[in-house]
Structure 1
Amino acid sequence: MAQGVPAIPSTIAPGALVGRWGVAAYHRDSDRPRTEAEARRQCNNAYAIKPGPTGGVMMHLADEPQVSELVLKGSPSGVTYLGPPGPAAVPTDREIVTIDDNSFTVKWVSPDNSTRYGTMVYVRCT
């Protein structure tokens, strides 16, 4: 998995992720509804995703205190990943599980990051 797969253009535009988001995470699928509600409550301390200088988005990587420009990467299997430029499905990437106008959910490719951070839910703050 460390080598990843060739990245192809994503069907998700970076602008879909730009904005202010409430963020929460879960480890069991049964906790998703509660986690979505918790993410909404986090809008008083929203996580801001800004456009990157070269067309990506500015977000944190796991365990990194400073934001980096991340890109959306399509894959031959149809899965979209969010991570540093380069191959898709590498350990620093997140898989976009679901996305709509008001929320998106990601899970980490790295098993270690997935265990520590869980599946992350972002809910758009109004």
Structure 2
Amino acid sequence: MSNALDALIEIFTWVGLGAGSLLTLTAVILLLADGTWLPVRAVVEHVEGGRVVRWFDADGGVNEAPLSAHDDEKIGRADMADVFYRRGTANRMRLTRSSPVVRFVSLLAAGVLGLGVVAFVVSIVLLFARG
């Protein structure tokens, strides 16, 4: 039983630290690829195809983006909304600063790394407890 437990802890240590490191690197790459999203107050207007939001960017340009069904539902009947637009790209907006994909990969990386660290600490404690 002791050998099986040691093997299991060793596997969790190596897989947790290795996969967690790769997931952390992936999260950093995704974060950099996502770009910089700046907050802005946008006006919600009704047009023929549905509703759109319009805002001024940091350079003074006017931008417009259609609201998806999900975004339209979250904004509701408001005439103005706080949105985030991507710096350097025209007519792109979203309602959250960070991407859900980046958030998911970051949390997964933290969980897997945490598993590896806990398994490592348990292996060290067992090493000294048996000695």
How does the TM-score come out when normalised to structure 1? 0.23
Q: In proportion to residue count, which structure has more helix?
A: 2
Higher RCO (CA-CA < 8 Å; seq separation 6+)? 2
How does the TM-score come out when normalised to structure 2? 0.22
